[in-house]
Structure 1
Amino acid sequence: MRLLECIAALLLLCQWAPRQPILTAVSALGQPQMKMAEKNLIKQLLQHYDKKSRPVIDADPPYGTPKIERRKEKHANSSTIPIQQVTVEFGLRLVQILDLDEMEQVLTTSMISLYEWTDYHLRWEPEDEDGIMFVHIPTKDIWLPDIALYNYADERLEERRDVAAKVHYTGLVEWHPMAIYKSACEIKIKFFPFDKQVCWLKFGPWTYDGWRVNISYYHNMTKFDLEEMIDSPEWTILSHKAKYNEEVYPCCPEPYVDITFWIWIRRSTAFYTFILILPCFLLSSLTLVLFWLPPETPAKMVLGMNIFVAFFLLMLLLEKQTPSASDSFPLIGQYYCLNMGIITLSTFLSVIVVNFHFRGDNRQEVPYWLKKLAIQHGSRLLFVNLNRKPPASGLVPSASRANSTPAGNSDRRQQRRGVGGGGDAGGSRCYEDLPMQPTGASASAITSPGYSLHAGNSSPHYAPSYHGRAAAAAAAAAASPSDRRRPVNDAAGTSRSGGGGGGG
């Protein structure tokens, strides 16, 4: 039994003997990791850190914060006192222009905010901390500059994403959070959709004055950083810049500083060309077709109303793209209104022309003032020559006004009402207001027994009898347009025509 126990002990001893150096080596290698130098460094840095106070030290540079001389009063001759100043370098890296809302006049951009400043409470020697050159600390545990967007137009309370800050052993803090800024931007829509807009973003310390927290360009960069820029499908950047501003208000001697970023953008017109511009030109072409249609057709009015409705729909599309409180109206909208006015006027005139066409001249004659306005003044406006010689025919010329008498003038007025009037004994007179007398077969038809001779107070005239109206109308319709003349009364009361028709 003792022999077996000795053998078992030897076997166990041989089994565990090779593992002892390995465990010792693992323990030796793991010992530096158990120090946790970075964790201890962060705890040591934040042990007595107060994020509510500015990270300044009263010692002289390079171990302390730089000081400036501050005036006690606003006037230039006042005494000064030294004050520590924290300088924050600030810049913007533009990622993308997300949207420009014309209705709300808000520019939405995706940015990377670039911050850099020196925190004199977060400094250490790398030799004492196992060569650690920098650490990452959550921003909720350290002091942050209160640089804010002045022209803020967002309902959100925070526009930046929460990211950690990179702290170097010299106290230099780098913080590059992602942010989506919504800034107010005044929109000019006069030349929509070929417009150019100018927007600006004003950043500066909201609470601190320029003597305590100053702001400067990030790495002397006086414009946007476009290294990670993503092109916008709607807007193209024309130019951009940044400007440092310092303003002193009447209340206080302290200056307040800010950096304003300006950006000039132009709208891409490819989409609006097919939505607003091309339909506009096509409808304008249909407006010209509207004047080519015959004046008596009712389709002219229907087409005009359809074009009017189409332009009204384009106005509704334009209304959705433009702010209602704008101080100007787009030129393309004014062009829409002009076309709608022309179409309205054309439709109104078409109604008058159709009314004249179907009513004819059976009810009443054209008023004298309208005829004078259309023939005399209208001919001058349209460059129409009315002094041409009439063609040779059997028409009877009108009597001269020089030989007319007051009785003849009275007869002339009666002739305009369809009553024959007497004139000179041997002369003849035709209607000036009505078409000339017929010739040939038309005259014989009109002076047929269907017409009877009547004698008025002044002179005889022809009037169709009740039974002869149908025959006279049929004969007038069968005659050619050039032969459709009315009978002319002479002083003797007989009817004459170009072919010498007989009396009634």
Structure 2
Amino acid sequence: MLIKINEANVQEAKLMNSLFGTQSQYNALITPVSNESEPLYVYFGLALTQIINVYEKEQIVKVNVWLQLRWYDYQMKWNPDRFGRLDSIRVPPDQVWTPDLVLFNNGDGNYEASFKCNIVISSDGHILWIPPAIYKLTCTINVEYFPFDEQTCELRFGTSGRTASQIRFGWYAMANSIELSDYVPSGIWTLIDAPAEIRTFQSTEPPYETRSEMVFFLIIRRKSLFYTINLILPTMMISLLSITLFCLPSDAAEKMMLCTSILVALVFFMLLISKILPSTSLSIPLISKYLMFTFIMNLLTVFLSVLSLHLNHHRTSVLIPVPYWMRTIFFHTLPTCLFLYKPYKNPLANRKHISSIDSPVLMRKLKSNPDDVPEEINDLIEQLLKISDDIKYLSKKIEGDTEEMKVYNEWKYVALVLDRIQLFVFLIVTFIGTISMLLQIPKLFESHRESLLTATQSTTSSSLRT
């Protein structure tokens, strides 16, 4: 067994000396074409392993891929029978000519493959090279429907300084697609599709040369469960919480405190979104629009709450009665429509109250004839007359307080009717605004299944086996 291994090594050394030794005229810097007028066909493919991360703020996507390259070198041919039936050898990539493929839209300055693995050379002159690479590519992130967004990113590969007449691209295994047999699904993004195409560009200046590019697309959709639970639902709950402010009493001081707390929470969520998304002015995220909508509604709530407090305190402090037209609308018409009880009307309110207490006729007569009345009774009459003055003062005071309380209760009921109107209006506006925002999101109710991806993987695996 050891003898066979040593013999194989000897044959491989002889072959390497024949191909790359001092007697060989092979130059790794020269394109391996027998006729300079004919282009060299490079069959290129891409195998996606993992979408590592998407940096929305920097608009960069980090992926792990395998480059699949195959071409023909007429100088790398030998007869296997002369070298112990050796059909293929593996050599470092710096010993043979390799296509200078670069990623044009890279985001970190790394244009080439990260690891230079060995190249497999077959006896018929075909060369296979599958180097791994981790690329950071630039991708324009469309955040209009965040977090229900779908992104399309490109990997644009081409040769530096070579035209289409020198090197032409072809498909390695799968035409117009990325190989996904070894793809590991991401926990953040769903891979919807991975097409590919070959583009040809012609220069607009002399000598009007053409160049080719291999473009691979990554169509990915964000898995929105995390953002729905931690961002969307709290925002919707806050918008509903701002509506419940109108259920509080109009003269409650806690109403303004709650309004201020909701405004602070909305500002916090807006700052949180600004930290996640890129600072682009091309489109406004839908979640930012909804937060701004909720923010404006809450500002209106604060304004109307201040107006309600003004009706309660300012009007009652100067004892301005409720006008007749307002009494007709707010006391008789609107309460029935808003499911409110009408204000209670006191049946004794229309009765005539005694505004003063005068001495009776008997007391006058007794006072006119003091000689006929005992002295004790005269003293009692004097005391009763003094008490009657105090009773008149208390009666006027109670009547004034009653009138003030009546005005206060009427304006308070007007504020209650206004709060109920605002409750229904804000509830309807918030519901319509929320539904309209949700309907603008494309493919919201589609399930994020990876059935297409699984089907693509199975097709790829079967084609590779074939």
Answer whether TM exceeds 0.5 for this pair.
yes
Q: CA deviation at 1:279?
A: 0.6
SS of the counterpart of 2:170?
strand
The one-letter amino acid paired with 2:354 is: S
CA 340–131 in structure 1, closer or farther in 2 if over 3 Å, else same: same
Contact 1:204 1:215 (C-alpha < 8 Å) held by counterparts: no
Q: Does 1:440 align with 2:348?
A: no
The aligned residue for residue 66 of structure 1 is none
Once residues 361 and 315 of structure 1 are traced to their aligned partners in structure 2, the CA distance between those partners, rounded to angstroms, is: 40
The aligned residue for residue 235 of structure 1 is 189
The aligned residue for residue 53 of structure 1 is 30
Q: Which runs of 5+ in 2 are unaligned?
A: 338-342, 359-388, 410-466
The aligned residue for residue 191 of structure 1 is 145
Larger helix proportion of the pair: 2
Task: Pick one of 133, 137, 155 that aligns with 2:91.
Answer: 137
> When the two structures are superposed, what TM-score results if normalisation uses the length of structure 2?
0.70
The one-letter amino acid paired with 1:355 is: H
Alignment length (residue pairs): 369
Q: Does 1:223 align with 2:177?
A: yes
Once residues 41 and 66 of structure 2 are traced to their aligned partners in structure 1, the CA distance between those partners, rounded to angstroms, is: 20
CA 216–466 in structure 1, closer or farther in 2 if over 3 Å, else same: farther
CA 375–126 in structure 1, closer or farther in 2 if over 3 Å, else same: farther
Q: Which runs of 5+ in 1 are unaligned?
A: 1-25, 59-81, 386-390, 396-436, 450-464, 486-504
User: What per-residue deviation string (whole Å, max 9, x for no partner) do you get for residues 265-312 of structure 1?
Assistant: 111011111111111122122112111111110111111111111111
Once residues 241 and 380 of structure 1 are traced to their aligned partners in structure 2, the CA distance between those partners, rounded to angstroms, is: 69
Contact 1:124 1:169 (C-alpha < 8 Å) held by counterparts: yes
SS of the counterpart of 2:17?
helix
Once residues 191 and 121 of structure 1 are traced to their aligned partners in structure 2, the CA distance between those partners, rounded to angstroms, is: 55
Task: Pick one of 254, 269, 277 that aligns with 2:232.
Answer: 277
SS of the counterpart of 1:335?
helix
Task: Pick one of 283, 286, 291 that aligns with 2:241.
Answer: 286
Once residues 230 and 237 of structure 2 are traced to their aligned partners in structure 1, the CA distance between those partners, rounded to angstroms, is: 12
User: What per-residue deviation string (whole Å, max 9, x for no partner) do you get for residues 451-474 of structure 1?
Assistant: xxxxxxxxxxxxxx9997765233
Task: Pick one of 97, 106, 112 that aligns with 1:152.
Answer: 106
Once residues 296 and 124 of structure 2 are traced to their aligned partners in structure 1, the CA distance between those partners, rounded to angstroms, is: 74
Once residues 444 and 31 of structure 1 are traced to their aligned partners in structure 2, the CA distance between those partners, rounded to angstroms, is: 130
Task: Pick one of 117, 121, 141 that aligns with 2:71.
Answer: 117
User: What per-residue deviation string (whole Å, max 9, x for no partner) do you get for residues 432-455 of structure 1?
Assistant: xxxxx96436x324x569xxxxxx
The one-letter amino acid paired with 1:166 is: V
The aligned residue for residue 397 of structure 2 is 473
CA 229–467 in structure 1, closer or farther in 2 if over 3 Å, else same: same
Question: What are the within-5 Å matches in structure 2 for residues 221-370 of structure 1?
Answer: 221-251=175-205, 252-363=207-318, 365=320
Contact 1:146 1:206 (C-alpha < 8 Å) held by counterparts: yes
Instruction: Find the structure with the greater CA-based Rg.
Output: 1
CA 115–376 in structure 1, closer or farther in 2 if over 3 Å, else same: farther
The one-letter amino acid paired with 1:274 is: I
CA 209–482 in structure 1, closer or farther in 2 if over 3 Å, else same: closer
Contact 2:120 2:128 (C-alpha < 8 Å) held by counterparts: yes
Q: CA deviation at 1:117?
A: 0.5
User: What per-residue deviation string (whole Å, max 9, x for no partner) do you get for residues 298-351 of structure 1?
Assistant: 111111111111111111221122111241111121111111111111112212
The one-letter amino acid paired with 1:177 is: P
What value does the CA root-mean-square deviation take over the aligned residues? 3.7
Once residues 98 and 394 of structure 2 are traced to their aligned partners in structure 1, the CA distance between those partners, rounded to angstroms, is: 106
Return the structure number with greater relative CO, CA threshold 8 A, min gap 6: 2
CA 239–467 in structure 1, closer or farther in 2 if over 3 Å, else same: same
Q: CA deviation at 1:157?
A: 5.6
The one-letter amino acid paired with 2:211 is: Y
